[in-house]
């Protein structure tokens, strides 16, 4: 029986861990047996593979050079510089809030914030102390909230405390983003809506003054068209039934339609309307509906 060759891989598959496309390439270049199980000359195969990849890279670089040549022909697209963007992605709101505490502590001049929604009241309460410390340090805090967020549970107390300590707050019917812009240098933004129970969040922190300036301009535009938040009627407790009546008033519904919706008599409705109009300081039911919308009590 002849001695076995120690360099002979034998009948087993010597390329068992090699991807199929690499096997096909080796066979096509006659560097492996036709069945793609063994390499004829490993040193040559490696040399050929490196050369092949080098040629592909050269072609790729030539393509980029050609692209740059075309860009030079377009003055409006000419690049004046490059900036490396540092981004932090979070899928856990608890970890994000911990990171935001660090950023808030580093904020020295200005904090711009948009809130389409607010978290649970206990979360708002936990973050209030940090917000108040920022205001005490002299940070200019501008907070733009949606009407729905302004009337969510726990929002009235939170917003009133910020107002008392010097924050500027305005209310818009809707806001386009949920974000913080810290000193116009760092942007914290939710990439998607608030996650439902059991779902993962999608949030990002962008360290770029250029991007922060862009988001600040978006903020400034919506801020200029929003109305000041009033810590008055909006902070009172309004029952779901009262809010429904106010919403129907704002929509221009007639007494008969409102009474039918509530399942009460028109006489009972008139007494309720008189109470609501007085609480809002309005002189008519129409003015009460307008006032309710201004205060963010209805959409």
Q: How would you label 163-185 residue by residue, b for 16+ Cβ within 10 Å and e otherwise?
A: beeebebbbbeebebbbbbbbbb
Q: CB 215: neighbour CB atoms within 10 A? A: 21
In the prediction, which pLDDT does 7 show? 46
**Within this chain, do residues 104 and 170 fall inside the same structural domain, yes or no?**
yes
Q: Provide the CATH number for the domain around residue 278.
A: 1.10.10.10
Mark which of 26, 57, 82 sits at the end of a domain: 82
Quick check: is 299 in a domain? no
202 by DSSP, 3-state: which?
coil
Q: Are 251 and 288 in contact (CB under 8 A)?
A: no
Which secondary-structure segment (H or E) carries 180? Answer: strand 179-182
**Within this chain, do residues 46 and 126 fall inside the same structural domain, yes or no?**
no
In the prediction, which pLDDT does 63 show? 67
The parts of the chain modelled with pLDDT lower than 70 are 1-18, 29-30, 32-45, 63-83, 192-201, 231-237, 294-296, 299
Q: Cα 151 to chain center, whole Å?
A: 21
Q: Tell me: the pLDDT tens digits for 54-101?
A: 877 777 777 666 666 665 555 554 455 666 788 888 888 788 888 888
**Within this chain, do residues 219 and 257 fall inside the same structural domain, yes or no?**
no
In the prediction, which pLDDT does 95 show? 86
Burial of 239: CB neighbours in 10 Å, binned 0-12, 13-18, 19+:
exposed
Distance between CA atoms of 47 and 28, rounded to whole angstroms? 15
Number of domains in the chain: 3
In the prediction, which pLDDT does 35 show? 61
**Within this chain, do residues 220 and 160 fall inside the same structural domain, yes or no?**
yes
Q: Cα 284 to chain center, whole Å?
A: 41
Distance between CA atoms of 76 and 262, rounded to whole angstroms? 61
**Within this chain, do residues 41 and 98 fall inside the same structural domain, yes or no?**
no
- Scan for tokens 């009590």, then name that residue: 297
Quick check: is 172 in a domain? yes
Quick check: is 2 in a domain? no
In the prediction, which pLDDT does 186 show? 92
């Amino acid at each position: 029986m002849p001695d076995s060759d120690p360099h002979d891989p034998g009948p087993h598959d010597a390329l068992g861990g090699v991807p199929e496309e690499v096997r096909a390439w080796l066979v096509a270049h006659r560097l492996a047996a036709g069945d793609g199980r063994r390499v004829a000359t490993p040193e040559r195969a490696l040399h050929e593979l490196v050369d092949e990849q080098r040629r592909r890279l050269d072609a790729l670089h030539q393509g980029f050079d050609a692209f740059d040549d075309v860009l030079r022909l377009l003055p409006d697209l000419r690049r004046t510089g490059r900036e490396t963007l540092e981004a932090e992605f979070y899928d856990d709101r608890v970890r994000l809030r911990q990171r935001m505490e660090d950023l808030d502590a580093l904020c020295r001049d200005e904090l711009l914030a948009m809130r389409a929604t607010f978290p649970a009241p206990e979360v708002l309460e936990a973050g209030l102390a940090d917000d108040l410390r920022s205001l005490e340090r002299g940070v200019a805090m501008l907070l733009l909230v949606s009407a729905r967020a302004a009337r969510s549970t726990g929002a009235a107390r939170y917003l009133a405390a910020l107002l008392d300590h010097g924050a500027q707050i305005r209310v818009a019917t809707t806001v386009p983003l949920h974000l913080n812009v810290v000193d116009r240098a760092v942007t914290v933004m939710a990439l998607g809506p608030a996650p439902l129970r059991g779902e993962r969040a999608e949030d990002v922190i962008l360290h770029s003054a250029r991007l922060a300036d862009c988001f600040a301009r978006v903020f400034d535009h919506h801020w200029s068209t929003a109305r000041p938040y009033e810590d008055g009627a909006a902070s009172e407790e309004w029952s779901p039934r009262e809010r429904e009546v106010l919403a129907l008033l704002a929509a221009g519904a007639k007494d008969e339609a409102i009474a039918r919706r509530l399942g009460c008599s028109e006489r009972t409705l008139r007494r309720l309307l008189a109470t609501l109009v007085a609480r809002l300081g309005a002189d008519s039911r129409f003015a009460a509906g307008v006032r309710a919308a201004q205060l963010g009590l209805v959409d």
